Amino acid sequence: MDGAPHPLGAGQTGVQPTVRAGFLPGRTVHLHPLARCNLACKHCYSSSGPQASAMLDPDLLVRLMPHLADEGYETLSLSGGEPLLYPELPRVAEAARAAGMRTIAITNGFRVAPRFQHLIDALDGLAVSFDGLRGVHDRVRGTPRAFEMGVAALRHLQSLGRPAAVAYTVSRESLPDLPAFLEMVAPLGVRGVQLRPLVMTGRATEEYTGPALGPADMIRLWLTASALQMAWDGEMAIHCDAAPAEAVRADRMAWRAALTGTGTVLSDEINPLVITPDGRLRPYTFDFPARHDLGSVETFMVSPVQARRRMAGLRPHLAHAFEDLADETGVIDWFAWVTARAQGRAGPGVQRGIPARV
Amino acid sequence: MKPTSNRAMHKALASRLASREIPDDVLKSLADRLTIDDLTIGGIDFCPYGICIDYFSEKPVELATFKPLGKYRELRLFPWGILDDELWRVRLEVHVPELQTVRVR
């Protein structure tokens, strides 16, 4: 039964563990090579914008890729800032491919156009980010062209016969737009949609607090997503980064290596691994507390074992996060949940910075 | 029901949920009602009666377990079988009047 899916998670009933590490289907590095962006979105968790200057040395990143592959990472997911603004994106992506990793990027779509074909060709897949239909999206992005450019990007990818995906930020404002949005993008060749609950961190804590999701919104999101998954079954894969707390709890054995320190490579315990524009290796989320950083890109290349040793300080927070689920009956974003615990804001029902509703 | 009608029903229900036609407190109480100790929710589907919900259990299941759900129409119990003979899948069609009056266009 190796590798067979199990509804309660491998290990709980004697089934052999799968190779899955955590709740992601693959082992992923979220690389933020730069903080600069042509937009300054109200909800940006990395506070990116035109004035942001932090950027990683491309030579350093090229050298880093084989080390990441050696630690079991399979996918390099580029974000930012706007990743298509990174000057040497093709070279870094080529190094990742040469190391055996798949390369994808999440973009606002402004550079997904014919004159940037070399950037598109450098990547195995592209996801265009949206925050709702035109009205909400353009207001959040701070420009009246943002929605039009995002849609144009999808049209361009469709014309190239390239698979396209969408990363959709779900807020109280954008959730009502979601069914109509899917009707709009389905004919544009979109084959996957990731629904990402708004994270109340970075610039969102100052400019976008109103649309934060409360506990009832999370239930609404999960039910809506469940209905939409059935509605679009066979045409678009819809993934929601939210699940009932008890389902998360039941699947805890996917985290066995991280909880027990029995991983043999870093990706057994840290998935996803985040690399910030200032070169820090961080567990799980961009806003995970810096005291749990696993080191810098440079120190990681010298000694990945040190990064794994740093996991020891994180383990109690992980265990605590699972223990807290026992009293939770709602729907949660697991990574927000565990980040809140590591930040010291524990207690059932606490999402990151989300004001209590209902 | 024809597959196309099923699809339309799911879309209509998604629109109704997303647009907040169903109030927050109703959804919260529905989530509380569907949560049963010692049973894990494995998945849900929507049907004209309400919700078809799959639970998984590693212990023998008694009918009284489902009393907090209120009205339910049908209960089916499957051994998980080849994958794991200690595990039971329980599927219920639960009456959820909160989700009714979905208009399928």
Q: Tell me the pLDDT tens digit for each residue of A148-198.
A: 999 999 999 999 999 899 999 999 999 999 999 999 999 999 999 999 999
pLDDT value at B28 more than 80: yes
Show Cβ contacts of residue A315 under 8 Å, excluding neighbours closer than 6 positions. A258, A259, A261
In a domain, B54, yes or no: yes
pLDDT at B47: 78
Tell me the average pLDDT across A2-22. 47
Whole-number Cα distances in Å, B60 to A102, A251, B89: 45, 20, 11
Maximum Cα–Cα distance for chain A, whole Å?
A: 55
CATH of domain A28-349: 3.20.20.70
Percent of chain A predicted with pLDDT > 90: 76
Q: How far is B8 from chain A (nearest CA, A)?
A: 7
Query: CB B45: neighbour CB atoms within 10 A?
Result: 16
Domain containing residue B58: CATH number: 3.30.1360
In a domain, B39, yes or no: yes
Q: Chain B, 46-105: which have a CB under 8 Å from a chain A CB?
A: 46, 56, 58, 80, 83-84, 86-87, 89
B84 pLDDT tier (thresholds 50, 70, 90): low
Give per-residue pLDDT as tens, A309-354. Answer: 888 888 988 999 999 988 887 899 999 999 998 988 754 444 443 3
Rounded Cα gap, residues A33 and A88, in angstroms: 10
Choose the closest CB to B41 out of A4, A220, A247. A247
pLDDT value at A102 more than 80: yes
Q: How far is B39 from chain A (nearest CA, A)?
A: 9
In a domain, B1, yes or no: no
- Please give the residue of chain A at the shortest CA–CA distance from B20: A176
Give per-residue pLDDT as tens, A23-44. Answer: 888 999 999 999 999 999 999 9
Whether a cis peptide bond, with omega within 30° of 0, leads into A81 is yes
Check residues A19 and A352 and name the one with the higher pLDDT.
A19
In a domain, B104, yes or no: no
Q: What are the tokens at A226?
A: 């469940």
pLDDT value at A239 more than 60: yes
Check residues A336 and B70 and name the one with the higher pLDDT.
A336
Q: Which residue range(s) make up the domain with B88?
A: 6-99
pLDDT at B70: 83
- Domain coordinates in residue numbering, chain A: 28-349
Question: Considering just the CA atoms, what is the radius of gyration of chain A in Å?
Answer: 19
pLDDT at A355: 34
CB contact under 8 A, B14 and A228: yes
Whole-number Cα distances in Å, A85 to A259, A332, B45: 38, 33, 43
Q: How far is B93 from chain A (nearest CA, A)?
A: 16
Total domains in the fold of chain B: 1
Partners of B83 on chain A (C-beta within 8 Å) are 1, 4, 6, 15
Which residue, chain included where needed, has tokens 């729907």?
A: A331
Rounded Cα gap, residues A170 and A217, in angstroms: 10
ipTM: 0.82
Percent of chain B predicted with pLDDT > 70: 85
CB contact under 8 A, A219 and B46: no
Rounded Cα gap, residues A289 and A342, in angstroms: 7
Tell me the average pLDDT across A45-60. 96
Check residues A137 and B5 and name the one with the higher pLDDT.
A137
pLDDT at A128: 98
Rounded Cα gap, residues B28 and A11, in angstroms: 32
pLDDT at A237: 96
Q: For A118-122, A268-272, B5-9, which range has the lowest pLDDT when averaged over its residues?
A: B5-9
Whether the CB of A332 is below 8 Å from some CB of chain B: the reply is: no
- Please give the residue of chain B at the shortest CA–CA distance from A217: B24
Q: How far is B4 from chain A (nearest CA, A)?
A: 9
pLDDT value at A290 more than 50: yes
CB contact under 8 A, A330 and B84: no
B81 pLDDT tier (thresholds 50, 70, 90): low
- Please give the residue of chain B at the shortest CA–CA distance from A234: B7
Helix (H) or strand (E) holding A193: strand A190-197
B103 pLDDT tier (thresholds 50, 70, 90): low
Question: How confident is the prediction for chain A on average, in pLDDT?
Answer: 90
Check residues B82 and A67 and name the one with the higher pLDDT.
A67
Q: What are the tokens at B10?
A: 């799911």
Rounded Cα gap, residues A91 and A89, in angstroms: 5
In a domain, B105, yes or no: no
How many Å separate Cα A294 from the centre of its chain?
Answer: 18
Comparing C-alpha atoms, which of A293, A294, A288 is closest to residue A335? A288
Give per-residue pLDDT as tens, B37-69. Answer: 778 888 888 877 788 888 888 877 888 888 888
Helix, strand, coil shares of chain A, percent, nearest 5, are 40, 15, 40
